[in-house]
Amino acid sequence: MSHSYDYDLIVIGGGSGGLAASKEASILGAKVACLDFVTPSPQGSTWGLGGTCVNVGCIPKKLMHQASVLGESFTDAKEFGWKISSEGHDWEKMVQSVQDYIGSLNWGYRTALREKNVTYINAKGKFVDPHTILCTKKNGKTETITTDKVIIAVGGRPKYLGVEGDTECCVSSDDIFSLPTKPGKTLCVGASYISLETAGFLTGIGCEVAVMARSVFLRGFDQDISDKIVSHMERHGTRFIRKAVPKKFEKVGDKVKVTFTNQEFGFDVEEEFDTVMLAVGREACTKDLGLEEAGLTYNPSSGKIEAPDEQTNVPHIYAIGDVLEQRQELTPVAIKAGVLLARRLYAGGVLKMDYNGVPTTVFTPLEYGCVGLSEEEAIAEHGEENVEVYVSMLKPLEWMIVKEEHEGVMHREDNSCYVKLITLLSENERVIGLHYLGPNAGEITQGYAVALKCGATKAQFDSTVGIHPTVSEEFTGLTITRRSGKDAAKKGC
């Protein structure tokens, strides 16, 4: 490629999106460098190549969620004839197994870059000008490299509250998956999915857990489902402290004393915990990236970059992944956007990333999978009179014979799982939202995402023969609507 720069493309950030874009661009003939550097968390946590998802996000989160699911299965197994007992959960063993697997992934990513002829630079990148990047290594040594094009893929990191003692006393999702000892009595601060997922698996492995939130849980998700998730977690051992905000954190021996304000009545409360985890949002890692030197415009409050079709206001500089304004912070989104962008830049590609209809799953104890619009979004966008909402409650067959109670609550409750299908009446009941609450939510939702992408209608769902006996077949025979007022609970098997 005709220019005088050191590289055709420099990708700043070695997370899922950055790695995908780097490898694809190199495969297509570009000379590529990928920069990656992890600034230690306030608690000192660092990790290898691969970004948030692999190291401190999706991968360790789901593995630890699986540990909790396996614990729940001990009760089920007894009803199926297995004579088993548990001596409790070994946190240290789980962490070691998870971290060993992550380490293998880190090595695999470095190997993959080498095989694809991508130059990997373990250094923090910063713009000197629109075509020049200053690389600062861990030992402080610097070098300057130049490039024809840049892709910013630096992702984000957890926010802190900015109250006394937060960085000194609290951990975040950057730290929780590698703690050397069991967290013990834990406070999860925040109403986010990260907070609820963490609280869920910690409760499941035997920790005493409380969740503190100032407002609604799972903002941006379907609130009907959100209420059911929180209610289920509360019945099964997680404590919720509502309408409260932390005011101060203090070290008291090996404990953390939390002073928080009850917003409803205005008084302060003090309580001690072994571990406090903050999950109050994330912010883009652009503060020290030199965006001004490159002439880039961005949102100063979030650090995020406005980039329609991934192109910033500086034509040769692009951005993908969590750093983008108003885009989903999801690994598969960053990967697909990065690959499609590389193909447009170096192979004459024309396909652009479609950010609509992106499926996702929240790995709470009852998993929640969704694709399309929430009920609130559908009504706001199309009007209540144009939206039909089909609902049903159920209990999976595998849970039917489990009758054991834990502290007066059925281990496997009747009608604890839930399905919802949202259709648009004005378009032949095209399905515009699908929601599922229950086991294996990600596996179930992924296939339906393809159907929604193809414009499936309620009639097509109804004409599909279900696989029996499964929970997913429920979507092929929904008859009760929200506006009918009928009870969606099952009365029999």
> What residues act catalytically?
468
Question: How far is Cα of residue 11 from the mean position of the Cα atoms in its chain?
Answer: 23
DSSP strand pairing (360-362 vs 239-242): unpaired
d(Cα 120, Cα 110) in Å, to the nearest integer? 8
Q: Tell me the three-class secondary structure of 182-243, residue by residue.
A: CCCCEEEECCCHHHHHHHHHHHHCCCCEEEEECCCCCCCCCHHHHHHHHHHHHHCCCEEEEC
- Residue that is written with structure tokens 């960085």 in the block: 167
> Of 399, 380, 448, 382, whose CA–CA distance to 420 is shortest?
448
Contact call for residues 362 and 192 (beta carbons, < 8 A): no
Q: Helix 223-235 crosses helix 375-382 at what angle (to 10 degrees)?
A: 160
Contact call for residues 198 and 173 (beta carbons, < 8 A): yes
d(Cα 99, Cα 489) in Å, to the nearest integer? 42
C-alpha to C-alpha distances, 417 to 280, 422, 438, nearest whole angstrom: 28, 17, 5
